Amino acid sequence: MSRNPVVPSFAVITGEQVAQVLTGDEKQVVGLTEEVYRLHGRGSTVNPPSYFLRFPDRPSSRIIALPASVGGEEPTDGLKWISSFPENVAAGIPRASAVLILNDHETGYPFACLESSIISASRTAASAVLAAERLSTDERPRRIGFVGTGLIARYISHYFEATGWTFDELGVHDLSADHAEAFAGYLRSRPGTAPVVVHGTAEELIRASDLVVFATVAGAPHIHEPAWFSHCPLVLNVSLRDVAPEVVLASANFVDDVEHCLKANTSVHLTEQRVGNRDFIDGTICDVLRGRVAVPRDRSVIFSPFGLGVLDISLGRHVYNRLRDAGQLRVVDGFFHELDRYGRTGA
């Protein structure tokens, strides 16, 4: 039976539209994140290595390409193109910006371009909340602490709130006192009466927290003391490079994907380089979801997510579908011009 593939229309989806779809949809986003992790664990995705574009004249900046393909009931291919320019913060604009391209599984033609910084932050936050739910051993942590106070920290905080988590205390630490106070002010403006404490050092925050969120732009480990974690907190190592190998080796370690996370001088990659093996990795988040590994209770637990492109593709498709079904897609007429192989008139 012959196929008659149809070239899709091409839509542009703004950040405002993305936010409108995802705001209030946080529980579903967490559920979608779990579904994609399970697909990834079953081998129903393609998630090749991320590609880093670096600049000799701007060593702190980079742009990353994350190609990916998601299977399941609605297979979709695509690419996230996300920049990280830390100097933006001093100018008062966010560090990261991103776009997401979705490709038709049948023809390969791109059918949408989405503003993706919100998608990226949302899938990161959803992954953090899912990990906190599944890696908490006895009961939910009561004291949360944030090291790093940018957009990712804000989104993670929001996703905890939107999915029904409550805390007895919220801690904040940042190298910038102004940023720490600004984030503390944001947390105090949210519903609830839990006190917000600004800590002068990372040690103070870690020792005072049952759940520690690292969301910094650190390029190298700055947390070296395993003793700071002697109370066995759950650690969401979202920014990947904050904790030193000695802390990693004293903890139980879970990642989103072993091959992806053990590269680019992440905390776990540096640990592999030090000890020469990967025996310190206890499993993946999919292993936990499927009950294949137990989460220990006698040491701190660290979740280090490298950030899988399949999560972006899946969430982007979710946004696209919602806008399509609501008749709100902004289609670019005539985006594809050469649609006949031989340029025949009227084809």
pLDDT in tens, 272-328: 999 999 999 999 999 999 999 999 999 999 999 999 999 999 999 999 999 999 999
Quick check: 263 pLDDT over 80?
yes
In angstroms, the Cα distances linking 23 to 19, 28, 34, 116, 120 are: 6, 11, 19, 14, 14
State residue 192's pLDDT score.
86
DSSP designation for 243: B
Strand partners for 304:
255
Segment 25-39 shows an average pLDDT of: 97
Q: Is the pLDDT of residue 81 over 80?
A: yes
pLDDT averaged over every residue in the chain = 94
Tell whether the model's pLDDT for residue 254 goes beyond 90. Answer: yes
Q: What are the backbone dihedrals phi and psi of residue 281, each rounded to the nearest 5 degrees, phi first? A: -85, 120
pLDDT band at 21 (very low <50, low <70, confident <90, very high): very high
Instruction: Indicate yes or no: pTM above 0.85.
Output: yes
Domains of the chain, earliest start first: 11-119+309-325 (3.30.1780.10), 137-304 (3.40.50.720)
Q: Which residue has the higher pLDDT, 95 or 315?
A: 315
Mean pLDDT of 161-185: 97
Span 160-180, mean pLDDT? 97
Confidence of residue 137 (pLDDT cuts 50, 70, 90): confident
Return the pLDDT at 323.
98
> For the range 92-95, what are the long-range contacts, defined as Cβ-Cβ under 8 Å and sequence gap of 24 or more?
94/150, 94/151, 95/150, 95/151, 95/217
The token pair that represents 79 in the structure block: 């690419």
Q: Which long-range contacts (CB under 8 A, 24 or more apart) does 202-205 make?
A: 202/147, 202/173, 202/228, 203/228, 204/173, 205/145, 205/146, 205/147, 205/171, 205/172, 205/173
Amino acid 291: pLDDT? 94
3-state secondary structure of 123: helix
pLDDT at 345: 57
C-alpha 271/C-alpha 247 separation (Å) is 9
Q: Is the pLDDT of residue 56 over 90?
A: yes
Of all helices (H) and strands (E), which one includes residue 46?
A: strand 45-46
pLDDT value at 5 more than 90 = no
Q: Which has the minimum average pLDDT: 32-36, 68-72, 145-149, 334-338?
A: 334-338
